Amino acid sequence: MDVWKFERLISEADALWNENKQTEAIQLSEKAINIYKGNYLKEDRQPYTLSLRERLKGRFVRSLIRTGRYWEDTGDIKKAAELYQKGIEVDNLCEEIYQQLILCYQRLGLRAEAMAAYNRCRNAMTAFLNSEPSVKTKEIYQRIVD
Amino acid sequence: MMDSYVIRIYRRDEQYPQNIIGLVEDVMIQETRPFKNFNELWEILRKKEKKEKERKRERT
């Protein structure tokens, strides 16, 4: 993974987002998202690598959510859902991604997939955090079930 | 020896700010443990310190 390129693209995209230049920002964000290949140097336990790995992951997740929301707002729900799925593969405990994915499936009329995404979220929360999904996630799920 | 941890906070309770849900990863032994508030987080970090002290005491 080209770390320098990834960080440069994310920084440039952030600047464009802040200037409300969404079309250009999306192009750079998507390039960055495609460069990211999961946890950077996963086996390396050096403090410097750890800090870098966590920063890259954080920037990836933030960029992915921003990009997904853009596609949702512009009506390309399928594209947004695909992005969120990718996000969950990278961080299976990021509840915000599950919430957006469930909402996308709901908008696409894919009720079974929405319920499966909720169950996946609940299982991950239970297994890794010894906790339940948040009130907000449960409310989203409840709206689908009702 | 220096200990390295990664602390990931996944959720904060707006009403009760002391309630934070997350994971602590002990980098050296690659073990992760969940916590639900600051007290649990502190206990996880303190237990390791206690274990180290016990080990040193046993050696002497």
| A49 shares contact with chain B (CB less than 8 Å) | no
Nearest CB partner across the interface for B6, out of A54, A131, A134: A54
Confidence band of A40 (pLDDT split at 50, 70, 90): low
pTM listed for this prediction: 0.86
Residues of B in contact with A129 (CB under 8 A): 10, 21-23, 34
Helices (H), A19-134: 22-35, 47-73, 77-90, 95-107, 111-129
Query: Which of these, A63, A74, A78, A57, lies nearest to A29 by C-alpha position?
Result: A63
Q: Is A94 on the interface with B (CB under 8 A)?
A: yes
pLDDT in tens, A64-110: 999 999 999 999 999 999 999 999 999 999 999 999 999 999 999 99
pLDDT on residue A52? 85
* Integer Cα distance of A33 and A10 in angstroms: 9
pLDDT tens, B33-52?
999 999 999 999 887 666 66
Contact A130, A88 (CB under 8 A): no
The percent of residues above 90 in pLDDT, for chain A, comes to 79
